[in-house]
Amino acid sequence: MIKRLTLMAAALFALIAAPVFAQGKDKVVLLLNWYVYSEHAPFFLGKARGYYDQEGIDLDIQEGRGSGVTVQAVAAGTANFGYADVPTMIKAASKGAPVVAVGVALQTSPMSVMGYADRNIRKPADIKGKTVAVTPGDSMSQIWPLFLKKTGLSDSDFKTVSGDAQTKLNAVINNQADLLLGYVMDQAIKLQDATHKQVYPIRFADYGVNMVSSGIIVQKDFLKQKPDLVKRFMRATTKSLEEAAKNPDAAVDAMLAANPKSGVKETALVGMKNTAALYKGPDNPNDRPLRVGGKNMDETLALLVEYGGLDKGSAGKATDYYSNDYLP
């Protein structure tokens, strides 16, 4: 009888002590910044390997339609987590959107001016006399004047053609432009997929123009109500990014298995490697992924105020827009 009571007590204690998620996983929606491509491969690796399952999370990864839309969805509570451009989030938050970044994935800017490698445009001086395709109003076109200033170029040194994202790609593909403003893991890969030609990017960050880019954002009320869930999600996501950086082949395979139309293995692998190279920040290169440096965020906010259309009066401090407290 005593033995039976002891066993019952042990079973009861185990039930009480069991983590809540063992009784049923938390269903979580992660809304991406765009259609699935190589930058997103780590999330699919984490899901395929069970990193989110191990944290009691049933993860639903959904495609986005731009960072602005993702920020709105997270602010409205229709997505639990968003993977979005952090400067875009900062602009929305400065105007009252109840969102904050709990991790920054791309801590070195992917912004570049790029063209085909065989045209030997390798440094800013080589842009002189060329034609550059831009999308007016997007984040890159807003920072482009600072890159020109830093590198001693002026608008009169080159020609410009304007259009939306696809028009910009088409301009280079059809030889109507020599270069375009794009991201090293996005437009560069699209150009390679379309033409099978190597692309050479001149990165803004290499010339002293660095802003953080994509990160994980949440609604402030959700953060207050479910801090443990946020910590578990960020733990799984940190592991996913680390493992994808170590094994980009596996990350790309996981993405293509879940979304066969999201890319071509060869160039998606290049895109994943280019993405992983941006995980390290200039002022905290030895930290784990997603933990952003304060100096990096301060400089990002300053650039947004000076060049990105952020109102100085409502900008506040960089610490208003991010937290490292939920990271492992």
Q: Say whether both 308 and 257 belong to one domain.
A: yes
Q: Say whether both 84 and 117 belong to one domain.
A: no
Domain that holds residue 122: 111-207
Please check whether residue 133 is in contact with residue 161, taking contact to mean a CB–CB distance below 8 angstroms: yes
pLDDT tens over the chain, length 328 residues: 444 444 444 444 443 344 444 458 999 999 999 899 999 999 999 999 999 999 999 999 999 988 999 999 999 999 999 999 999 999 999 999 999 999 999 999 999 999 999 999 999 999 999 999 999 877 788 889 989 999 999 999 999 999 998 999 999 999 999 999 999 998 999 999 999 999 999 999 999 889 999 999 999 999 999 999 999 999 999 999 999 999 999 999 999 999 999 999 999 999 999 999 999 988 999 999 999 999 999 999 999 998 888 999 999 999 999 999 999 9
- Alpha carbon 259 to chain centroid, angstroms: 19
Query: Could you tell me whether strands 131-134 and 179-183 are parallel, antiparallel, or unpaired per DSSP bridges?
Result: parallel
Point out the domain boundary residue: 207, 228, 251.
Answer: 207
Q: Say whether both 85 and 216 belong to one domain.
A: yes
Point out the domain boundary residue: 207, 233, 263.
Answer: 207
Q: Looking at the domain assignment, is residue 82 inside a domain?
A: yes
Q: Looking at the domain assignment, is residue 16 inside a domain?
A: no
Residues in the chain: 328
Gyration radius from the chain CA atoms: 22
Q: Say whether both 217 and 202 belong to one domain.
A: no
Query: Could you tell me whether strands 99-104 and 111-116 are parallel, antiparallel, or unpaired per DSSP bridges?
Result: unpaired
Q: Looking at the domain assignment, is residue 69 inside a domain?
A: yes
Point out the domain boundary residue: 185, 207, 229.
Answer: 207
The residue among 227, 4, 237 whose CA lies nearest residue 104 is: 237
Total number of domains in the chain: 2
Q: Looking at the domain assignment, is residue 2 inside a domain?
A: no
Q: Which CATH number is 174's domain given?
A: 3.40.190.10
Please check whether residue 39 is in contact with residue 186, taking contact to mean a CB–CB distance below 8 angstroms: yes
Q: Say whether both 157 and 198 belong to one domain.
A: yes
3 state SS for 11-36: HHHHHHHCCHHHHCCEEEEEECCCCC
Q: Say whether both 31 and 179 belong to one domain.
A: no
